[in-house]
Amino acid sequence: MAMHDRGGARVVLGTSGTSFDDVIAVARGGARVELSPSALDAMAAARRVIDDLAAGPEPVYGVSTGFGALAVRHITPDLRARLQRNIVRSHAAGLGPPVEREVVRALMFLRLKTVASGHTGVRPEVARAMADLLNAGITPVVHEHGSLGCSGDLAPLAHCALALLGEGEAEGPDGTVRPTLPLLAEHGIAPVELREKEGLALLNGTDGMLGMLIMACADLGRLFTSADITAALTLEALLGTERVLAPDLHALRPHPGQAASASNMRKILAGSGLTGHHQDDAPRVQDAYSVRCAPQVAGAGRDTLAHARTVGERELAAAVDNPVVIDGRVESNGNFHGAPLGYVLDFLAIAAADLASITERRTDRLLDRNRSHGLPPFLAQDAGVDSGLMIAQYTQAALVGELKRLAAPASADSIPSSAMQEDHVSMGWSAARKLRTAVEGLTRVVAIELFAATRALDLRDGLGAGASGAGAGPAARAVVAAARAAGVRGAGEDRFLAPDLAAAEAFVRSGALVTAAESATGPLI
């Protein structure tokens, strides 16, 4: 098990996996990586198995044969170092823009996690070099396109392995992209000379898609709570009823995510003088679906996220390689196939798109004078002269449209490769890449609802709340105050709107929205 020393920003890898927190600490926080004595012993023992097989006459895949469709050729000992070097060079065939630094660091750390398991046959000195690269802040350049998510994330991992050889390009700790060899020299890291099986073992894992899943889970966990907050603020601004959030109603349909979202919304609305006036000036029997069903939709997303976390935790406990060293023997397998990850990555993109869709519908309701129960058109100060938030909703709708396109599954696709040896692939890397884009889009959609709802609450304070004349509750007031302090300006005449939207996005992305709400409610789920 990996141990995470938060005080010293240190993660120690053992033989039995790691945790979500460890991955995020290394990928995003720059935590130092170390190898435990048990991991070093396990790697040395597995290496002895590989060395024994390499000395024998029988061909063994990855040790003394070619790769993929070329596995039929037996490779003589004098060519094996070249074989391992060549697989790295030839597979480092990515194309397109570089992927984010945090993705590459997660990719490197997760491959090292599997190497440390003692099931790959990689020598301890290679594992130490992998850790040294991470600790030096050297990040290989990995390109957007190149992985089919089967036989692992081959091209992305090959670009990382290439850096161990002192080849290719990498980003230094100062953020500058340079040739890798001088970067290694500056940090006292010697290039690695690969031996039997090591080149293959450095490429054959689901590490890229897993790293992106873990980071998406962290981001979406925050976003589901943020969406509960903005949904509650909108309900409040629309003078809706909080009675639909009662625990006994949600117990009738016992989905845990739904109960969690309803609980969050109840906490946000506690003490509000605005809720419950849906029968006053513009009577309505019940609120619209986008308001009334907010816990059901966000809750379904929460349950999807819980399932994705379970899959991610299982994958973190895995040792994905082919072949693997197990009980003193080497066996081929198909554990590198990314289907389990591809499915949940796609599932999360669907959940993100639907949450964005219902969020946009609430925003539109706040802006429509025919449905906003007394708020001015588009929340404008002088409608007609001012357009208010009319085009902010256009931006939100454009984002939702993109999120719906990103919800189309990548994992349902498969393009055969390697002369039909690899005739079914997962496209898990593609699913992960589009999920990252979806998470960014959802953040912006939630931010626009926040902007609209806080402005509407400002206006309610000016207009009065209806029959009671009471105002927003403590949580809403805390959020509005924090948003204003963060540069999300309130109601007023038309102005350059993009800076407000950018400030709202940063407010949501940083977690400041959740922190502000919790200052009044206590911990939210």
Residues annotated as part of the active site: 61
Q: Alpha-carbon torsion 424, 429, 432, 433, what sign?
A: negative
Give the C-alpha distances (Å, rounded to integers) separating 457 from 34, 90, 233, 431, 495. 51, 59, 8, 38, 19
Look-up: residue for tokens 């240190």? 10
Q: Of the candidates 204, 187, 445, 185, which has an alpha carbon nearest to the alpha carbon of residue 325?
A: 204
31: tokens are 């935590």
CB crowding 37-62: b at 16 or more within 10 Å, else e: eebbebbeebbebbbebbeeeeebbb
Q: Is the peptide bond before 323 cis (omega within 30 degrees of 0)?
A: yes
Query: Residue 166 corresponds to which amino acid?
Result: G
CB crowding 401-411: b at 16 or more within 10 Å, else e: ebbbebbebbb
Sheet of 3-5, strands arranged across: 3-5, 10-13, 32-35
Distance between CA atoms of residues 392 and 409, nearest Å: 29
Give the C-alpha distances (Å, rounded to integers) separating 213 from 149, 346, 372, 428, 431. 13, 10, 38, 10, 10
Those residues with Cβ within 8 angstroms of residue 62's Cβ, 6 or more apart along the chain or in another chain? 196, 197, 200, 201, 322, 323, 330
Q: Of the candidates 215, 66, 214, 203, which has an alpha carbon nearest to the alpha carbon of residue 142?
A: 203
Look-up: residue for tokens 């670009």? 159
179: tokens are 């040739």
Judge whether 132 and 181 are in contact, CB under 8 Å.
no
213 three-state secondary structure? helix
153 phi and psi, to 5 degrees?
-85, 75
Distance between CA atoms of residues 250 and 256, nearest Å: 9
Look-up: residue for tokens 């790769």? 67
Judge whether 142 and 94 are in contact, CB under 8 Å.
yes
Tell me how far the alpha carbon of residue 33 is from its chain's centroid. 21
* Percent helix, strand and coil across the chain, each to the nearest 5: 55, 5, 35
Those residues with Cβ within 8 angstroms of residue 398's Cβ, 6 or more apart along the chain or in another chain? none
What is the length of the chain?
A: 525
